[in-house]
Structures are given as C-alpha cells and as structure tokens.
C-alpha cells in the first residue's frame, strides 16, 4: 500500500512539474507569436514608404521590396493563424469561449488584407504602364485600406488582451490541483512523511539535473537554428542582390522598343542576351548551394580552349552594359579534357566583371601555351580602375563588394569560378598590372576529375606529351 501511494505521489509530482514546464514553454512561444503579429503593422508602413519613394522618383528596383514585405506579412499571418486560431490545444487550454471571437476577427482581417493586396497589384500595374494619375488614385485607396487594417490589428490585440488567464494551462489551476492532492497525501501518509520527503528530494534533484541538461541541449539547438537561419537569410540576400541587377536593362529595352528608338528585333536580341546572363546568374546561385554541400560535379570532354573563349565573347555582343570592344589574342590552340559548360561559366563570370567596370578603352583576352610546364595560361585584362588593395586578398571569397565609380561588387561569380578552376586542378589569381586589373587562369594540359584515380603513371605521362 505504501509503495503504491508513493508511486502515485511520484507520478503526480512529475506530471505537475511537466505541466508547469509545458506552460512556461507554451506561453513563451505564444508571446513570440503575438509579437510577430504586431510586427505586421511595421511591414505595412514599410510598403507605404516604398510607395512614397515611387511617387517622388522612378525606381523599378524598389518595387520588389513591396512584394518581399507582402510575403513576410502573409507568413506572419499564416503562423499566427495556425498557432493561435486553428490550434486545438490553444482553444482548449488558453482561449476558451474567446476562440470563436478571435477566429471571426482574424478572418475579417485576412479578407481585408486580400483586398489590400489586390489594390497594391493594381497600383503597380498602373505604375509600370505609366498611368500616374490612376496610380496615385489607387494609392489613396491603399492608404485607406491600411488604416482599416491597423484598426483590425488593434481589435485583435484587444481581444487577446481580454482573455483571462484562468484556463487549464494557467499556473494557478495546476498549483491548485497539486495542493489538493498534497493535502490528501498528508492525511493518508502521515506515518510515512519522512520517507516521502526523502523520495521527493531525490526526485527533485533528478528533475533539476534533467532540466539543466535539457536547457543545455535546447541552448545548443537554438544556436544551431540561429546559424541555419543566418545562412538562409544570407542566401536569400545574395540571390536577391544577384538577380535584381539585370532586370532594369530589360525594362529599358522594352521602353526603347515602344518608343521605336530601336527595332523590336534589336530589343528581342538585347533581352535574349540579358536572359542568358540571368540564367548564368541563377546557375551561380544554385552552384553556391552545391559547392557548400560538396555536390559540384564535372562532366569532362575534349574541347578546344580557343573555341570556348570565342563562344563566350560572341555571346557578349548584345550585352547592353558593354561599352568597349573585346579583343582576343590566341596562342596555339590546344584540346583540353574539361567540363566545357563549367569553364564557359568561369570565362563569362570574369568577362562580365570586366564589362561592369570598364567605361572606356578595351577588354583583352590572351592565351599563352607553356610547353615545358605542360600548361596554358589565360589572361583577362581591361582598362577599368585598379582593384583596391584591400579587396585583392578577398577577391575569390564567397561575397566581395566594393563601391567603384558607383558600381557594386564582384558577387558570387569569382567565388564559384575559383571552385570550378580548382576542380580542374587549375589556378586563378587577380592582380593589378600597369595600373589595370588582370585575371590570370592556369590550366594543365590534361585536367581530370579530383575523384578519378590514376593507376598507370606511364599512361598519364603519354597523355601529357600528346597534348
């Protein structure tokens, strides 16, 4: 009997401690969701700031921020809806009869947000079409809907604040039940108080140790999640930065075609070229993920190095950013065993970088065969500004940016280029020569996948001599 009563006491004590711990964790998460919901108002205000800037200045690049904020708003609404409104545990333990009222207020708010979102889309369409008066009129409707949304937010907050903390999840409820049980146990176990105290002390010590260990584990897990979230935000920032740049020239070609300054065919050729560059940038962003996960693969084939360079140069003929000619000076052509697509990606990244920073003069590409060293060197140089000394050591890091004549950054291209050249057992460096930037790539006459095992040394030497 005594063992049974002690067992019941220990089980109920552990259950109570678990409920208190669950209550604490739940309310921490709940409070965070409420704070996130209140941040929605800030996102609406940021959208208004973007609209104000659109009125005062033409800046198509700023339009994307409106939809970024809109996506953040919808994510906050989704989290709030799932956690507070549709979570059955929340209804039962925390809100009680306030659940239906909160559901109604939230549904009304979400419907109003959808109307707001449609008006934003319509206003931006007017903006793109150059219908300034319609755009301003629609913006007035947007400001009115925003004020309605702010009122709805306050209504939801008042509903939440009016919820009494007298539910099954409240500390008071849990403690009251435990006190009743404790009184019953004192009456039933008066003769075994000493044993019970000893047992509870032992249980309490174990629980403290377990809580301490769990707290430590949660702290470590939280740090890992923070690092993952930081990487996610960095990736989104990098992708947004890299993909946003080429969009403006596309709008430029469209406007030039509309005003018949250039022919439609010329505009299509220009847009096609930019789309090609967008594809290259998208590949760079995707390659970044592969590189970080050690998933970059090479597909080797025999290819003419001069032909690869010439293809890349030809693809830049319609690049609207190019202001200077591209001159090539080739040494004896050689066939290399390499990944043609990846190597074209390397050359295009470097060439695009030269084009970006060169306002006058020329861009030159040269090759030089080193028979004794069984390698070939490629030189890319332009007449743009020197690479700053503080940037040179970081040229091939993941992200390098520097304001040079109001042109920003080296982006991901050089970082990915170095990884591709390294995978070919080559070498890429950058330096300044005669006050001009110089990129130098060295490739062995026989390149091979790093995972390929060479078992016959004599065959390798014969292949080198053949090339």
What average pLDDT is seen over the chain? Answer: 77
37 belongs to a structural domain? yes
Tokens of 372: 């004794």
pLDDT at position 153 over 60? yes
Higher pLDDT, 63 or 112: 112
Q: Higher-confidence residue: 432 or 9?
A: 432
The pLDDT of 429-433, averaged and rounded, is 95
Q: Which residue has the higher pLDDT, 59 or 308?
A: 308
Does 314 lie in the same domain as 436? yes
User: What is the percent of the chain where pLDDT is above 70?
Assistant: 69
The last residue of a domain, from among 153, 188, 223: 188
Do the domain assignments include residue 231?
no
Confidence (pLDDT) at 279: 72
The mean-pLDDT minimum among 99-108, 268-277, 362-371, 435-444 falls in: 268-277
Across 193-216, average pLDDT: 82
pLDDT in tens, 66-96: 888 888 888 888 887 776 655 544 455 555 5
Tell me the per-residue pLDDT of 158-172, one tens digit each, with 9 for 90 and over. Answer: 777 666 554 555 555
Per-residue confidence band for 448, with pLDDT thresholds at 50, 70 and 90:
very low
Residue-level pLDDT at 25: 62
The answer to whether residue 230 is domain-embedded is no
Confidence category of residue 402, pLDDT binned at 50, 70, 90: very low
Q: Helix, strand or coil for residue 322?
A: coil
Whether the pLDDT of residue 330 is over 90: the answer is yes
Give the three-state DSSP class for 384.
coil
- Structural domain includes residue 175: yes
Does residue 172 share a domain with residue 32? Answer: yes
Q: Does residue 202 sit within a domain?
A: no
Whether residue 257 has pLDDT greater than 80: yes
Judgement on whether residues 184 and 305 belong to the same structural domain of the protein: no
Higher pLDDT, 17 or 233: 17
Full DSSP string of 284-303: HHHHHHHHHTT------EEE
Asked whether the predicted pLDDT for residue 249 surpasses 90, the reply is no
- Establish if 154 belongs to a structural domain: yes
Q: Residue 437: what pLDDT?
A: 96
Q: Which of 188, 214, 229 is the last residue of a domain?
A: 188
* Structural domain that includes position 393: 301-466
Domain for residue 176, yes or no?
yes
114-140: pLDDT as tens digits: 999 999 999 889 888 888 889 889 989
Identify which has the larger pLDDT, 39 or 276. 39
Q: Six-digit token pair at 11?
A: 């089980």
Residues 422/423/426/432 CA torsion (nearest 10 deg): -30
Domain boundary among the residues 159, 188, 217 is at: 188
What span, in angstroms and rounded, lies between the C-alpha atoms of 394 and 441? Answer: 17
Q: Which residue has the higher pLDDT, 57 or 176?
A: 57
Q: Is residue 209 part of a domain?
A: no
Q: What CATH number does the domain containing 146 carry?
A: 1.20.120
Which pLDDT does position 253 carry in this prediction? Answer: 79
pLDDT tens-place string over residues 354-386: 998 999 999 999 999 999 989 999 999 999 999
* Res. 421: pLDDT tops 90: yes
Looking up residue 396, the CATH number of its domain turns out to be: 3.30.565.10
8 A C-beta contact, residue 412 and residue 399: yes
Give the three-state DSSP class for 376. strand
At a CB cut-off of 8 Å and minimum separation 6, what does 51 contact? 66, 123, 139, 142
Mean per-residue pLDDT, 206-220: 87
Are 409 and 401 in contact by the 8 Å Cβ rule? The answer is: yes
Q: Which residue has the tokens 């930065």?
A: 241
**Claim to verify: residue 315 and residue 184 sit in the same structural domain:** no
- For the ranges 255-269, 387-401, 407-421, which has the lowest average pLDDT? 407-421
Segments of 20-64 assigned E as strands: none
pLDDT given for residue 467 in this prediction: 38
Contacts of 360-363 with CB under 8 Å at 24 or more apart are: 360/323, 360/324, 361/324, 362/324, 362/325, 362/326, 362/327, 363/324, 363/325, 363/326, 363/327
Structural domains in the chain (count): 2
Residue 158 CB burial class (10 angstroms; 0-12, 13-18, ≥19):
exposed
* Beta bridge partners of residue 444, listed in sequence order: 375
C-alpha 211/C-alpha 224 separation (Å) is 20
Residue reference for tokens 């057992």: 425
19 and 154 part of one domain: yes
Among the residue ranges 182-191, 208-217, 316-325, the one predicted with the least confidence is 182-191
- Same domain membership, residue 305 and residue 180: no
Token pair in block for residue 310: 């010439």
pTM as predicted: 0.42
Q: What is the DSSP string of 178-205?
A: HHHHHHHHHHHTGGGHHHHHHHHHHHHH
């Amino acid at each position: 009997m005594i063992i049974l009563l002690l067992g019941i006491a220990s089980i109920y004590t552990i259950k109570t401690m678990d409920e208190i711990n669950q209550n604490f964790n739940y309310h921490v998460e709940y409070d965070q969701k409420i704070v996130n919901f209140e941040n929605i108002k800030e996102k609406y205000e940021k959208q208004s700031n973007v609209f104000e800037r659109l009125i005062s200045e033409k800046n198509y690049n700023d339009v994307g921020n409106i939809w970024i904020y809109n996506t953040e708003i919808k994510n906050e609404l989704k989290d709030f809806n799932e956690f507070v409104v549709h979570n059955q545990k929340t209804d039962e333990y925390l809100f009680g009869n306030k659940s239906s009222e909160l559901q109604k207020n939230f549904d009304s708010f979400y419907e109003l947000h959808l109307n707001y979102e449609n008006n934003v889309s319509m206003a931006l369409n007017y903006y793109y079409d150059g219908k300034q008066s319609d755009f301003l009129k629609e913006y007035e409707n947007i400001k009115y809907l925003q004020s309605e949304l702010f009122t709805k937010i306050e209504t939801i907050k008042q509903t939440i604040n009016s919820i009494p903390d007298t539910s099954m999840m409240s500390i008071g409820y849990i403690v009251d039940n435990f006190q009743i049980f404790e009184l019953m146990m004192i009456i039933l176990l008066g003769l075994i108080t000493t044993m019970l105290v000893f047992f509870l002390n032992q249980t309490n010590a174990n629980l403290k140790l377990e809580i301490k260990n769990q707290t430590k584990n949660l702290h470590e897990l939280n740090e890992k999640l923070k690092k993952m979230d930081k990487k996610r935000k960095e990736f989104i920032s990098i992708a947004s930065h890299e993909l946003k740049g080429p969009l403006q020239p596309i709008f430029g070609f469209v406007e030039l075609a509309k005003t018949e300054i250039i022919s439609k065919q010329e505009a299509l050729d220009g847009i096609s070229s930019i789309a090609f560059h967008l594809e290259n940038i998208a590949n760079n962003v995707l390659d970044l993920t592969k590189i970080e996960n050690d998933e970059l693969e090479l597909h080797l084939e025999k290819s003419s190095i001069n032909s690869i360079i010439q293809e890349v140069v030809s693809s830049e003929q319609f690049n609207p950013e190019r202001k200077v000619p591209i001159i090539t000076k080739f040494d004896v052509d050689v066939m290399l065993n390499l990944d043609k697509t990846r190597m074209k990606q390397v050359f295009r990244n470097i060439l695009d970088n030269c084009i970006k920073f060169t306002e006058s003069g020329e861009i030159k590409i040269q090759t030089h065969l080193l028979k004794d060293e069984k390698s070939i060197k490629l030189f890319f140089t332009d007449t743009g500004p020197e690479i700053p000394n503080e940037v040179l050591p970081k040229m091939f890091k993941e992200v390098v940016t520097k304001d040079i004549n109001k042109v920003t950054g080296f982006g991901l291209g050089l970082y990915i280029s170095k990884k591709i050249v390294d995978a070919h057992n080559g070498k890429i460096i950058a330096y300044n020569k005669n006050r001009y930037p110089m990129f130098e790539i060295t490739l062995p006459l026989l390149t091979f996948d790093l995972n390929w095992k060479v078992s016959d040394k004599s065959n390798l030497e014969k292949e080198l001599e053949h090339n």
